[in-house]
Amino acid sequence: MTTDPAVLYAKLKEFFGFDAFKGDQEAIIHNLLDGKDTFVLMPTGGGKSLCFQLPALVMPGTAIVISPLIALMKNQVDVIRGFVEEQNGIAHFLNSSLNKAQIQEVRKDLLSGVTKLLYVAPESLTKEENVGLLREVNISFYAVDEAHCISEWGHDFRPEYRRIRDMVRTIGRAPIIALTATATPKVQNDIQKNLGIMDATVFKSSFNRPNLCYEVRDKVDPEKDIIRYIKQNPGKSGIIYCLSRKKVEEIANLLNINGIKVLPYHAGLDARTRAENQDRFLMEDVDVIVATIAFGMGIDKPDVRFVIHYDIPKSIEGYYQETGRAGRDGENAECITYYSYKDILKLEKFMQGKPVSEQEIGRQLLMETVAYAETNQCRRKMLLNYFGEDYPKDNCGMCDNCLNPKPTFDGRKEMCLVIRLIKSLPEHFKIEHLSMVLSGHSNAMIKSYKHDSLPLFGAGKDHSEKFWSVVIHQGLLLHLLDKEIETYGLLYVTDKGEKFYEDPYEIRLVEDRIFLGKGSDDEDDEDLANDKAAMKGGGGDATLFSMLKSLRKDMSRKLNLQPWIIFGDPALEDMSIQYPITFEELHNCQGVGEGKARKYGKEFIELIHRYVEENDITRPEDFVVKSAPTKSANKIYIIQSVDRRLSLEDIADARGMDLDELLDEIEVIVSSGTKLDLNYYIRQVIDDDVVEDIYEYFKSEATSDSVEDAMKILGPDYEEFEIRLVRIKFLCEIAS
């Protein structure tokens, strides 16, 4: 069916109120009207719906729209009905949410021919009664929305999508238009093959989003970093994605405590709360939403200024979709991802319960994300390359790597070695395999292929496996290498690569970034405390540190207390980093309980305040992250039981711990500033003289609160258990 362009424009205006088509819309629609199969790759928000809605309205018959999102169907249908007011029956949807009467109505409208668009969930399409009905209907074309759901290599595989082709055959062939916003070359191929539309006209818009700035940050204290970021960007709308519901709740809670208006969103909330939270975000009642990836599908908020990934996404597709929700209005927006390899290991662990083939796919998608996160190359180039698109410039100016370019080296020798290895092998292999061979590492697979006895095994052992995988990734970006489509991930040398190999020229390669991130621990505060301890050291203000130390010395003389009892070195060090100038801020420094802050803190705060003013120091944080109260059930139980004067044995029994473990817990409680009065128990189990000896040691002799040192100096007459108990008493009475 050929249609006069003028007619199409008139309909565009009449039905949708638009004056012009966006991007490829017009060409796509003409192609479909001509009865040709059509494949549309267009980023989210590009205007895919119109590509089937408009032709459906002008063509004779009914268009079948297959879409996975039941929730969105009603909305889409309402939109169409809004355009074409006089006819309610013009668009319908068919899914499991309809009752009998509603189905009857759909049936009537379909058979009488008033319905131009029928939205169907894929599982409804396969129901026999529906198939029977649709066989009687004159079908204009089939639209497969979110077509990446067909491929296991897409990020949202739905097995029902695999049956679409058979259903189309049964119901009656008509042109097919498939649409998706994310598809790697592999997924594109899967879609066309599965739908039987290898000859479809392909319309591929650029996936480049020039107004989005991409950044990957080391995951060190991400909570604080996020709070700082939001406080520096007041009033801006943003989404924070986390992988687990628990994390969503935790982060939302933490941000709230720190005075940021946020709401959580995840599938564990009831439907009403979810809808309400989403609305309040859309209505700008709150600026920030913390969500799992359940949030955002079909959301069209144009002015989202930042998308933060607290956890690394499981695939680049997911990442691209989620970051794609930023900056739809075309104004600049930031996409920040926190990365640590620990998170990757965690994700891999989660996969272990899945079928092997799924694991294999999941792992590969994840490895692509790792490569993306760790690269020192232009992120835009890498993203676009992933979706089969070339980015022509070397520096995009809008990603962390381009804004801070890293030194490069001439990598022609290294690239030639990679190519030589690939060419020397009769079969094709994946990146990991090749980089292991080059760096001289072996595993079961390498042994089974006897690749550990290849002449090139270990030919690049001066470099790590990681280094070689980076070289290979850059070979992909330069199109010297490519991945096979059918057997995803196996590498081959392109024509360009062959030419390069024959006559090598200079290529500039960069080494990867090193990340130190801690990763997210869902565990208790002990872990947090450990992490904090691990990341300290250095970075402080040395002048301030020594001033704080001499203040401590003065005070220790005045109070006749050992310096460490006032504040330990880690506390002073943290102060020289945080510059606390209020009690609250001081209390948030490492090893500073509330009691200590109040007892000894005044002079320290005053000193720091003066120092900051005199030296005109911009404090790195003009806020301090307040932490959510610890929710550990054990700790609460212990505190309450000690209040009730239960014996430690009973407490330990009740919680299934031994006494040592209980003391560990108690020490954590005390070191975070909570006082416990254990005298009732100590009196019962330790001789008064012994208590006094140990107490006196800590008060006058000790140079730190180390239990080990105490045992050495006090000698074998005192048991570790006694020392630990008295130390706790001492810390509660004097040192906190």
Residues that bind ligand ADP (CB under 6 A): 18, 21-22, 25, 42, 44-50, 300
Structure tokens at 89: 């029956």
Q: Is 430 in the site for Mg ion (CB under 5 A)?
A: no
Structure tokens at 262: 């946020």
Structure tokens at 492: 């081959």
Q: Is 148 in the site for Mg ion (CB under 5 A)?
A: no
3-state secondary structure of 260: coil
Query: Toward ligand ADP, which CB reaches closer, 12 or 544?
Result: 12
Binding segment (CB under 5 A) for Mg ion, from list 29-37, 40-48, 50-58, 269-277: 40-48
Q: Which does 457 bind (CB under 5 to 8 A by kind): Mg ion, ligand ADP, none?
A: none
Query: Toward Mg ion, which CB reaches closer, 206 or 253?
Result: 206
Query: Toward ligand ADP, which CB reaches closer, 57 or 382?
Result: 57
Cα gap 662→509, rounded to integer Å: 54
| Closest by CA position to 473, among listed 426, 435, 428, 517 | 435
Strand arrangement, sheet containing 333-339: 212-218, 333-339, 304-309, 237-241, 288-291, 262-265
Residue 158 exposed, middle or buried by CB count within 10 Å (0-12, 13-18, 19+):
middle
List the beta bridge partners of residue 306: 238, 334
Query: Toward ligand ADP, which CB reaches closer, 45 or 185?
Result: 45
Query: Toward Mg ion, which CB reaches closer, 147 or 597?
Result: 147
Query: Toward ligand ADP, which CB reaches closer, 42 or 177?
Result: 42
Dihedral of alpha carbons 104, 105, 106, 111, sign: positive
Q: What is the DSSP letter of 101?
A: H
Shortest distance (Å) from residue 89 CB to Mg ion: 23
Query: Toward ligand ADP, which CB reaches closer, 48 or 165?
Result: 48
Q: Which does 519 bind (CB under 5 to 8 A by kind): Mg ion, ligand ADP, none?
A: none
| Residue among 30, 48, 165, 328 that touches Mg ion (CB under 5 A) | 48
Cα gap 511→463, rounded to integer Å: 11
Q: Which does 42 bind (CB under 5 to 8 A by kind): Mg ion, ligand ADP, none?
A: ligand ADP
Shortest distance (Å) from residue 145 CB to Mg ion: 6
What are the helix (H) ranges across 268-377?
Answer: 271-282, 316-323, 341-351, 356-374
Cα gap 93→98, rounded to integer Å: 9
Binding segment (CB under 5 A) for Mg ion, from list 41-49, 187-195, 359-367, 371-379: 41-49
Shortest distance (Å) from residue 89 CB to ligand ADP: 22
Amino acid at 258: N
Cα gap 164→64, rounded to integer Å: 11
Cα gap 132→129, rounded to integer Å: 5
Q: Which does 532 bind (CB under 5 to 8 A by kind): ligand ADP, Mg ion, none?
A: none
- Can you give the length of the chain in residues? 736
Q: Which does 166 bind (CB under 5 to 8 A by kind): ligand ADP, Mg ion, none?
A: none
Query: Toward ligand ADP, which CB reaches closer, 181 or 478?
Result: 181
Q: Which does 460 bind (CB under 5 to 8 A by kind): Mg ion, ligand ADP, none?
A: none
List the beta bridge partners of residue 492: 482
Query: Toward ligand ADP, which CB reaches closer, 300 or 687?
Result: 300
> CB–CB of 326/335 below 8 Å?
yes
Residue number of the CB closest to Mg ion reads 48
Instruction: Give the interface size with Mg ion as a residue count (CB under 5 A).
Output: 1
Give per-residue burial for 363-390: e unless 16+ CB within 10 Å, then b.
Answer: ebbbbbbbbbbbbbbbbbbbbbbbbbbe
Query: Toward ligand ADP, which CB reaches closer, 49 or 233?
Result: 49
Binding segment (CB under 5 A) for Mg ion, from list 43-51, 156-164, 304-312, 440-448: 43-51
Phi, then psi, of 501 in degrees rounded to 5: -65, -40
Q: Which does 196 bind (CB under 5 to 8 A by kind): ligand ADP, Mg ion, none?
A: none
Distances (CA, A) of 630 to 252, 525, 651, 669: 15, 7, 19, 10
Q: Which does 18 bind (CB under 5 to 8 A by kind): ligand ADP, Mg ion, none?
A: ligand ADP
Cα gap 596→604, rounded to integer Å: 11
Q: Which does 44 bind (CB under 5 to 8 A by kind): ligand ADP, Mg ion, none?
A: ligand ADP
Q: Which does 704 bind (CB under 5 to 8 A by kind): ligand ADP, Mg ion, none?
A: none
Query: Toward Mg ion, which CB reaches closer, 202 or 707?
Result: 202
Q: Which does 300 bind (CB under 5 to 8 A by kind): Mg ion, ligand ADP, none?
A: ligand ADP
Shortest distance (Å) from residue 82 CB to ligand ADP: 11
Binding segment (CB under 5 A) for Mg ion, from list 47-55, 77-85, 323-331, 691-699: 47-55
Shortest distance (Å) from residue 210 CB to Mg ion: 21
Shortest distance (Å) from residue 49 CB to ligand ADP: 3
Cα gap 196→27, rounded to integer Å: 22
Q: Which does 46 bind (CB under 5 to 8 A by kind): ligand ADP, Mg ion, none?
A: ligand ADP
Amino acid at 178: A
> CB–CB of 437/380 below 8 Å?
no
Kindly list the residues in this chain that would bind Mg ion in the complex (CB under 5 A). Answer: 48
